[in-house]
Amino acid sequence: MDSVDLIVDEQTGAMLQPRDTPSEELHTLLPSKMDSAIKFEIPDDCRDFSPFARLPAEIRHQIWESTLSTPGMHFLKIQSAETGGKWWTKSMEPLNANSDDSSDEDKEDDDIALEVKREVHPTESHCANLVPLYPSPEADISYYTTLNQEITKLSVTCNEASNVIKHLMTRPTTLKLGGGRMISLDISSDIISLEYVPQDVFEDGCQFTKTLQCAGLERIRKVAVRYCHKWYEQHSPTRCSVCGQTHSTPDRIAYPAHLYQFLARYLPNLEHFYFVDYLILRKSTTEDGQECPCAGAAATVDEKDKRPPGKFEGGNRTYFEVDGQDWTVKSKVFETTTWLQDRYVKYAKASTLSCHKNPTSVKFGVLACEWTVGRRTEMKKAPVTPIKKGRNKRAFCEEHPTWRSRRSPRIAPNLTTGIATPTELNAAFPFVFGISGRNEFEFTFTAPLK
């Protein structure tokens, strides 16, 4: 008798015999012959939630609305409605260049007062529209593509869900584009990633010479822009040509003055502003669970202001609000955010061009991005076509008539010879359940060919 390894139960102390492996267990349960079609049957009791109709109408409406309240990221840009027109001009001295040791609060107050004093009210207006950042719908990773699909599904679910959708879409705070495309509902905390000037102008700097007339900006509550790493210039130590010694030059941070001007002038209902830094990564951990010592430091967050970080969906990307503890930040994005918040509040209070009534209530933060990488599929190799060789002596001889007459005649194959054909087919088919392919399973079965 073969010896069998026994397992001791930790709770009862009884000796248990190990079960067979899952593959052997499955092999014993499978019948000898399976149907080629795989069917899944859902019980009738699990298809409907019967107590839903007995809930109060207010709770039912909240349930319908909660299906559309997922926070998302939408990518839009301001496109001029006039041919060849611009409402900005590229500045010769684009950005405010400050070193790390020259930040003085009194000096900033003087700069803001001088800037507001020299402001010129634009006499001309410029018409523009909010349009998707990506021209092709297939390439658009904005969350409103998923939102419109969910709205279509709920509109045909039942009359009550359809009425709730119509009520949400007719609210005055709903953000829509000129063609009627739904972007964001007021029940969700969506972020608008806005490109208000071209990227090269955004990096270098600009001045607003005309008053922008763009419908939809007044409905934006949360906005995000891409953080530009060109704003921070790190200088290496240089050798002085006079004394011959090596001197360290202070690093230079170029702050975008046009950014707080745009926020104060054209976003009257702004609640949150975010910088999106695509170079922020999660902190790596060592084998013992300790944080890696090479991880960069981020901004510190006070305990009283600490709140759950936000999470926003957009295509195959997920944007996380950086809390300063679990992320590796090597750029000057937090220093730039602090500078922008101070200048925004001071400028919005002093400038007559500002349209925000309470600039101190606007919160500033940083977002990190993580990509959702799908499962890699193996590519089928294309049939290789043999390379035709050049003419040689043998090929030349075979083409000659006398050579063809010398060759022995070909014997036709015997078609009556029996060929062994398989009687069963082994195949593996992938099955995907859920939304966006989050649950994937592969089934391998054997089907008879006769």
- The Cα–Cα gap between 75 and 314 comes to 9
Confidence of residue 21 (pLDDT cuts 50, 70, 90): very low
Among 84, 77, 83, 93, smallest CA distance to 258 is for 93
pLDDT, greater one: 16 or 364: 364
Structural domain count of the chain: 1
- 22 within a domain of the structure (yes/no): no
- 445 within a domain of the structure (yes/no): no
275-289 burial, b at 16+ Cβ within 10 Å, e below that, comes to bbbeebeeeeeeeee
Q: What is the pLDDT of residue 251?
A: 67
User: What Å distances lie between residue 210 and 123, 127, 128, 198, 357, CA to CA?
Assistant: 7, 10, 12, 16, 22
Average pLDDT over residues 344-357: 93
Q: Which residue range is the domain that position 259 belongs to? A: 75-143+190-234+250-287+294-300+307-371
Q: Has residue 324 got a pLDDT over 90?
A: no
- 408 within a domain of the structure (yes/no): no
Q: Has residue 111 got a pLDDT over 60?
A: yes
Question: Would you report the helix, strand and coil content of the chain in percent, each value rounded to 5?
Answer: 25, 25, 50
Q: What is the pLDDT of residue 83?
A: 77
- 426 within a domain of the structure (yes/no): no
Structure tokens at 78: 């301001």
What's the pLDDT tens digit per position in 119-135? Answer: 888 889 999 999 999 88
User: What Å distances lie between residue 17 and 12, 208, 230, CA to CA?
Assistant: 14, 80, 66
Read off the DSSP letter of residue 222: E
Among 224, 228, 226, 216, smallest CA distance to 266 is for 216
Half-sphere exposure of 166 (CA within 13 A, CB side): 8
What's the pLDDT tens digit per position in 171-188? Answer: 888 898 877 788 888 888
What's the pLDDT tens digit per position in 406-432? Answer: 555 555 555 555 556 666 666 655 655
Q: What is the pLDDT of residue 29?
A: 46
What's the pLDDT tens digit per position in 205-224? Answer: 888 999 999 999 999 999 99
Going by C-beta distance under 8 Å and a sequence separation of 6 or more, which residues neighbour residue 204? Answer: 90, 91, 94, 95
* Residue 23, beta-bridge partner list: none
The amino acid sitting at 408 is S
> What beta strand segments (E) does 144-271 contain?
175-176, 182-184, 191-195, 206-208, 211-214, 222-226, 232-233, 238-239, 246-247, 252-255
Structure tokens at 150: 């969910």
Read off the DSSP letter of residue 397: H
- 4 within a domain of the structure (yes/no): no
Q: What is the pLDDT of residue 414?
A: 55
Average pLDDT over residues 283-296: 51
Read off the DSSP letter of residue 289: S
**Percent of all residues in the chain with a pLDDT value above 90, rounded to a whole number:** 26
- 9 within a domain of the structure (yes/no): no
Confidence of residue 280 (pLDDT cuts 50, 70, 90): very high
- 227 within a domain of the structure (yes/no): yes
- The Cα–Cα gap between 83 and 349 comes to 35
pLDDT, greater one: 303 or 38: 38
